[in-house]
Each structure stands twice: as C-alpha cells, then as structure tokens.
Structure 1
Amino acid sequence: MSDENIVDINERRPSDEWRKYTKLIAVAVILIVIVVTIISNLFIVEQGEYKVVRQFGEVVRIENEPGLSYKIPFIQNVTTLPKYQMVYDIPPAEINTRDKKRMLADHYAVWKIESPQLMISNARTFQNAEAIMGELIFSAIRAELGQLNFDEIINEEQSSRGSFNDLVRDRVNEALERNKYGILLTDVRMKRIDLPEENEEAVYRRMISERQSTAQDYLSQGDAEANRVRAKTDKEVQEMLAKANADANEIIGEGEAEAAKIYNESFGRDTEFYQLYRTLQSYETTINDETVIVLPADSPYARILMGYID
C-alpha cells in the first residue's frame, strides 16, 4: 500500500479556532432568539384602553395604566378593551303607547366599561355586553313609552322627554349593577319617532285637517277683528266729518254775517253807488247774448245800460 492512500485523521479535525467561532455563533443565535422572544411579548398600554392578559383562557391580570408591560411567551395572550365612552345605535323598534297606538322609536346610547373584570366574568365578551345593554335599554324604553299617550310623545309642548331619558338610564343602570356586568350607561337619547307605514297616511290626513281647522279659526278671528276695526274707524270718520261740517258752517255763518255788516256799512255811506252796484248785478243775472229788453229810452235802467250816467 502506498503512502498516498493513507489519510491522517488529525489533519481533518476542526481546529480550535474554528470551534471557538462556532460556539460564538451559537451563543449569538440563542441571544437573538431570547431578545426577539422578549420583544415580541412586550406590549404597550395606550391611553384610553384596557389590556386584558389571559392564560389558558382565564384572565390573570388587567393593565389599565398607560405604559409598557409584558406577557409570558406562548402561554399568555393579550386582548384590548376600550376605556373611553362609546356610542351604541339601538335598532328601531315598534312600541305601543298607553292609548294603544303603534310607533317606531329610534334611540342611541352612550356607555363605557367601568370594570373589565366584571364584564368579562359575567358578559364574557365585548359584543355580548353591548347586546345585553341593548336589550335592557329596549325593555326600559318600551316600559316608559307605554305609560305615555301618543300626543304626549310627539307634541313638543306636552312632551316628557326631559325626564324620560333619565328614567330609562337609571332603570338600565340598576339592572346592569344588579347583574354585575361592569358597564355603565351614561346617556340615552331619542333620535326620532316614526309611525308604521300603514298609519302614516291616516295621521297625515288628521294633521292636515287639524291645521286647516286651526287656519280657518285664525281667518275667522281675523275677519271679525277687521270688521270691528272698520266699524270703529267709520264711526270715528263720521264723527270727525260731522264736527268738521259743523265747524265749517259756523265759520261760514260768521263770515257771511261779517260780510253783510261790512256791505251795510259801506253801502250806507253812498246810497246812489249802492243802487248803481245793485243795477249792475242785475245785468249780470238777466242779460246774455239772446236777451231782448224793451225799455223807454229815458228810463234810468236803460240810461245806465246805454252808458248815460248823470
């Protein structure tokens, strides 16, 4: 056998330096795995939320302070619950009023989680808690509206909505607290009130008839008031005209008396001039383009008419 076919096993063994590098790489990989595992099991608690830590399905702790926290790898998981107030839109539901009329009530509610432990223990999930609250709200709304007449609900002047919302809220919160659901209803409001489609047309006709009747009453009252004002005004006008005519006649009489006095005084001073003036006035009233007068030529009337004045 030649020496070329002989292999020295010691020459093929890894060197000490290579083994050192291999150990370093293994340690580095392990460290990276540990760091990644730790980082992947850290979680941040944000403002306005709860972090629920569960182990094998059971709640082990709840983090509610903002900051950094952790969970045990592989055996714990984290879920989030809102800490702020939320709005729940209650589906419209048909309700009977005290006077046996049907209506569709549409509401919304504002609520929040006060105790995540109680909510998870008794309602199990967020969706279940919201559904339970919705059923309680609907039950309370139906009970409260069932004590009111239809007109009291739709008529703003007679509405009891101000206290109605508080009554519903208090009744629901009593039930939530009694069953330890860990949630609180902060407010409930009515969005709108509708009628079932088969009742809308009849109600609209009745409303139109009532409005027309009210309008006719207003028109009748207006006509009566207008006639009263006209009669009063006509009476006042007649009284004013009568007083004005009386005052005018008195003034005219005083003027005529004063004129007659002045005429008498003036004509008394010259009787011949007065006779001439009266003669000229008679000409104006008796003579026109077709007048024919037969008088003696030496008649004073004729002489004046002919322009012969002594």
Structure 2
Amino acid sequence: MRKSFIFVLVVLAIICMSICIVQEGERGIMMRFGKVLRNSENQPLVYTPGIHFKIPGLEAIKLLDARIQTMDNQADRFVTKEQKDLIVDSYIKWRVSDFSRYYLATGGGDISQAEVLLKRKFSDRLRSEIGRLDVQDIVTDSHGRLTTDVRDALNTGSSSQESDPNVLRSDNKNLIALPVNQNSMEALGIKVIDVRIKQINLPTEVSDAIYARMRAERESVARSQRAQGAEEAAIVRAQADYAVEHSLAEARRQTLITKGEGDAESAKLFSDAFSKDPDFYAFLRSLRAYKSSFSSHQDIVVLSPETDFFRFMKSPDLLKH
C-alpha cells in the first residue's frame, strides 16, 4: 500500500514536471539539453498559449513576452539639414515578430539586450532622417512623415527599400523568398509598430540666444512705440497750445474791438453833447478838473492867476451864463 502511494506520487510529480503552461501574451521556445529544439524544416519550435508537454530533465520551455513593448528613449541631440541642433525626445512601440530569430539574436530572449540593439539602430536611422530635413519640416510634420519613414526604415533596413523583405517574388514561375536585410529589425525577429516624437527642443545655449534676441526685438519695438507715442503726445499738446493761444488772441481781439467801439461811442456821445452846448460842456469839464485838483487839502498848485484854468472862479457872470 505504501509503495503504491509513493508510486502515485512519483507519477504525479513526473506529470506536473512534464506540463508547461504558456500564458496568453507569451510564446515558448523548446530547449533540449540547452539547445533550441527544431522541427523538420530546421526551424525552432515556438509554442503558442496553452498547455504543452516536455520531457522532465531533458527539455525546458523558455517563455518569451509576445506583447507590445514600449521603449522610452533618452532625449538626444540631432543635427538638421541646415546644421541646426535639436534635442529630440521619442519612444518606440515594438513587439516580437519572429520568436526563433529573436531568441537567437538576443541571447535567450533578453528584452534589455533587444532594446540595446533596437536603440542603436533607431538612433542611427532617426539621425539620418532628421539630417535630410530642415527645422521647419520637422516641427510642422503634421502627417507624421518623419516618424513613418523611421519606422519603415527600421523594419525594412533601408529608407529606399522598394519591397517588403517578407514578400515572395516570382522567378521563372517559382516563388523565391527574398533574403532578410541584416540591417532591418526583422533580422532580430522584431517588428517596430510605431515611432513617436514626444518633444522637440532647442539646445540650452541656442534657446537662450533666441530668447535674448526675442527680448531685444520686443524692447526695440517697445522703444519705437514709446517714441511714437511721445511724438503724437507732443503733436497733441502743440495743437492744444495753439488752440488755446488762438482762442486767447481771438478773445483779446474781440475785447479790443469792443473797447474801441465803446470808446468811439463814448467819444461820439461827448462830441454830440459838446456840439449842443459847448459852454456848459467846458464848465462841466472845469468842475471835474477842480474836483480832481483840490480833492486833497495837502495839494499845492502853483499857477498864474491869468491862466484859463481859473476863469470860472474869476467871473461869476460866466457861472450865470
């Protein structure tokens, strides 16, 4: 009974060691004695998600991630067509397309090793593509032509590739597979899904110079505006001063005219009065002269008694007249 129980446990253990489960989003590479197990066509065996069996102790399944990966690249300096420096920050979406190639190229499916190789090729390709464009084309790339060209170049191995290396071509009615471009990601078993540029900046020294020039231009415009405002203010003040002086001059002219008309009217009245009774007018003027002359007791007037000034004092008959 005890031996049967031990035998059952051993069998269950062997069965458990023989079962390997490949999860969704993973692929498995069968290894036998540390070497990749191949099929009749000398292709590595790749196991899809599900339950698979192996020989315990002899075989092992290496699990590889089949999901889309994101590689965030560090911002780097690139030179444009017009020899301008740009700091470009980008990232890549990629996944494994050929698990056998990927396993062999990366030394056992190491993602970090794959990203090192991918980053090197991506940097070279992006540098080449940016070197063909100027800053305006890069900044205004609304249709994503730059990133699309970089992605296609990575997948095909050349930006001028006219055909997909995965496509079969016809030669004498026989289908012949085109050789894999060793510069492409296919040689690593990787397919680049998407390339995106997160941010484009100018180098610090360039941006500081640009900001300084912008500030100088704005200050120049501000000085010009202030000078124009001061000029217009001076014109307005001059026009206001002219209007004030013109109004004052016109008022003084009207004053003089009115005063002259009043003096003329007064002279005319005196003349009319004098023409009607010259003696009375002379007598009245003499009285006014006496009043003005003798208004103060301290006044001393030295005149000849024979002067005409005292004629109304000497002849009372003239008063009666």
Give the TM-score range, shorter chain. 0.5 to 0.7
> Cα–Cα, structure 1 residues 210 and 68, in superposed 2: closer, same or farther, change >3 Å?
farther
Deviations along 1:251-289, one digit per CA (max 9) or x if unpaired, are xxxxxxxxxxxxxxxxxxxxxxxxxxxxxxxxxxxxxxx
Rounded Cα–Cα distance in structure 2 between residues aligned with 1:30 and 1:97: 73
Shift of 1:210: 5.8
Q: Which runs of 5+ in 1 are unaligned?
A: 1-23, 224-310
Pick the aligned partner of 2:89 from 93, 106, 110.
106
Pick the aligned partner of 2:196 from 180, 189, 192.
189
Deviations along 1:14-48, one digit per CA (max 9) or x if unpaired, are xxxxxxxxxx2123212202211211331212222
1:295 alignment counterpart: none
Q: Which runs of 5+ in 2 are unaligned?
A: 38-44, 159-179, 230-321
The residue matched to 1:137 in structure 2 has which SS?
A: helix
Rounded Cα–Cα distance in structure 2 between residues aligned with 1:142 and 1:162: 16
Shift of 1:211: 6.5
1:43 alignment counterpart: 20
| Conserved 8 A contact 1:152-1:160 | no
Rounded Cα–Cα distance in structure 1 between residues aligned with 2:130 and 2:7: 68
Superposition TM-score, scaled by structure 1 size: 0.55
Pick the aligned partner of 1:206 from 213, 221, 243.
213
2:156 alignment counterpart: 174
Rounded Cα–Cα distance in structure 2 between residues aligned with 1:168 and 1:191: 15
Task: Map 1:21-170 onto structure 2 (within 5 A).
Answer: 24-60=1-37, 61-64=45-48, 66-124=49-107, 125=109, 126-154=111-139, 156=140, 159=141, 162-170=144-152
Give structure 1 regions of 4+ aligned residues with deviation exceeding 6 angstroms.
211-217
The residue matched to 1:91 in structure 2 has which SS?
A: coil
Rounded Cα–Cα distance in structure 2 between residues aligned with 1:200 and 1:162: 25
Q: CA RMSD in A?
A: 2.8
Shift of 1:127: 2.7
Structure that is richer in helix per residue: 1
What code does the residue aligned with 1:184 have?
Answer: K
Identity of aligned residues (%): 27
Superposition TM-score, scaled by structure 2 size: 0.54
| Conserved 8 A contact 2:138-2:146 | no
Shift of 1:95: 1.1
Rounded Cα–Cα distance in structure 2 between residues aligned with 1:210 and 1:54: 69
